[in-house]
Amino acid sequence: MRQIIMIAVSAFSIAVISGCSAKPEAHESREHQMGNENHSTMNATMMEGHMSHDNVVHLNDSTGEHDLKIPPLLQRDPGEEIVYTVRAQKGETELFDGIQTKTYGYNGTFLGPMISVEKGEIIKIKTINELDEPTTFHWHGLKVAGDIDGGPHDPIQPDEERVIEFQVAQDAATLWFHPHPEGNTAAQVYNGLAGLLYIQDEKSEQLGLPSQYGENDFPLLFQDRLFDDQKQLNYEAAQNSDGTIGDTLLVNGTLNPKLTVPGEHVRFRLLNGSNARNFTFKLNTGEPFVQIATDGGLLNKPIQMSEITLTPSERAEIVIDFSSQNNKMDDLALVNEDGSILLPFDVADQHVEKSTLPDEMNDFALTEEEKSLPVSKKVELFGMMEHVTINGKKFDPNRIDFTQKQGVTEVWEIYNKPDMMGGMIHPFHIHGTQFKVISRNGKEPPENERGWKDSISVKPDERVKIAVQFKDKGIYMFHCHILEHEDNGMMGQIKVE
């Protein structure tokens, strides 16, 4: 099936992208990951170049020419209340030396700032649309009421603004924000609309984890793009209804990035902000690293990993020990599954004292009661390209697919129904909540998924059970986070009352 190896079409080389979430230690065998479908069912259309039904476009190595950009920390507006202003804007950005690329951004020409909020705070965010098309401001992973969640129901017209207010009511986590206009999310994100939202809390601040922003605690927003001959992001030309992928990697909007790190424990907040590409991150030396957080917060304890797969919109926080790498330090890099260089490192200061990682970080638990609840919501993901559906239906803004009671936990079963050609991974996301993974195909989830999640990869023929609870009321989206699938209608709505 397609997750294994695709036809290399002229310039594109074969890339093998593994489909499953990383396992703490060893790798599952490919056969196991991929299922046992017959590969000969690939049809002529696939061979003619519908390559993106899988991640087959090879990603170019980072040459390390540019220092990694660090998103600026967004300052509060002056005044007594906590108010942030976020503007969606258009502009030009020098991604390639000496060339201006037309881009979108928040409070700037490309991507967005990092907004850092503290648990318990009451926050206002003034959102302003300075684009010449409608947009929305969606807070991915944030537990807020449906009417301020920024889904497709809340378009903000050009030159309009809207103020939302909420109390930060969840633990420390790396969240993000991006637009969600109906049918036009993929293009706006592709052009550069995406920003970071950090939640901080006292409990996590006392753990002694690396937490100096831009010094030993770095966000890494990974996005692949296809630039045209003029080095422009031409979404219409690049667009693929099964997920737009490109050969060029941007990390925090930096082309060919390199990062200088101190010789100590360094924390990275990985975010797969791609429209469709899956990444499997590992170190080129094969050295392990530890994972400390999932989408929605800290794991109970650091987990040693040799690699980690993130599908679009998933996050993971990892810590890499740069003090123990001495002899191999020179060419150390974060690489993708196939070895392509994502981010080369330079290790600066060898004399800093290395922090120790805590043994206990959180008290996340899946209760016996949650494990024994019957499945009360079934979600079937199916199809490819324009034909993607959830439970056989396409998104209809006037149809409520599910209802659930505020504060009541229900078990959702997400099933990825294979098609004739095997199928593909769909990253499934629910708005306004952080959920718990109960099982994957009846088995306990891997150790590194025993933490809060808001997006989860579901492989072909896989059944994932999750325990879902909403803190607030309102209408929320659930959808595949391959942005073209979402735009093509692989999305439903739940009303929480």
480 binds, options Cu ion, ligand C2O, none, Cβ within 5 to 8 A by partner type: Cu ion
Contact characters 202-241, ligand C2O, x per CB under 6 A: ----------------------------------------
Report the site for ligand C2O in 287-316 (rule: CB under 6 A). Answer: 313
CB of 385 to ligand C2O, least distance (A): 20
Total residue length of the chain:
497
- Our CA dihedral for 384, 424, 494, 244, rounded to 10 degrees, sits at -60
Residue from 138, 143, 269, 450 binding ligand C2O (CB under 6 A):
138
Task: Supply angle C-alpha 293, 476, 132, rounded to 5.
Answer: 95
Comparing CB distances to Cu ion, the nearer of 179 and 344 is 179
- Which residue stretch of 66-74, 109-117, 210-218, 474-482 sits at the interface with ligand C2O (rule: CB under 6 A)? 474-482
Residue among 437 and 490 whose Cβ is closer to ligand C2O: 490
Nearer to Cu ion, 216 or 309 (CB): 309
Told to check if 429 binds ligand C2O by CB under 6 A, we report yes
What string of DSSP letters covers 357-426?
Answer: PPS--------HHHHHSPEEEEEEEE--GGG-EETTB---TT---EEE-TT--EEEEEEEE--TT----E
Which stretch in 163-171, 327-335, 421-429, 468-476 sits in contact with Cu ion by CB under 5 A? 421-429
CA distance 313 to 483: 10
Instruction: Pick the closer one to ligand C2O by CB: 140 or 465.
Output: 140
Out of 53, 140, 269, 450, name the contact with ligand C2O by CB under 6 A: 140
* Residue 41 C-alpha from the chain's centroid: 31
**Positions in 18-47 near ligand C2O (CB under 6 A):** none
Among 96, 90, 132, 99, which residue's Cα sits nearest to residue 256? 96
345 within 8 A of 286, measured Cβ to Cβ? no
Q: How many CB atoms lie within 10 A of CB 138?
A: 21
How is residue 324 annotated by DSSP? S
Minimum Å distance from CB 140 to ligand C2O?
4
* Residue ranges binding ligand C2O (CB under 6 A): 138, 140, 178, 180, 313, 429, 431, 477, 479, 481
Q: Which residues bind Cu ion (CB under 5 A)?
A: 140, 426, 431, 480, 482, 485
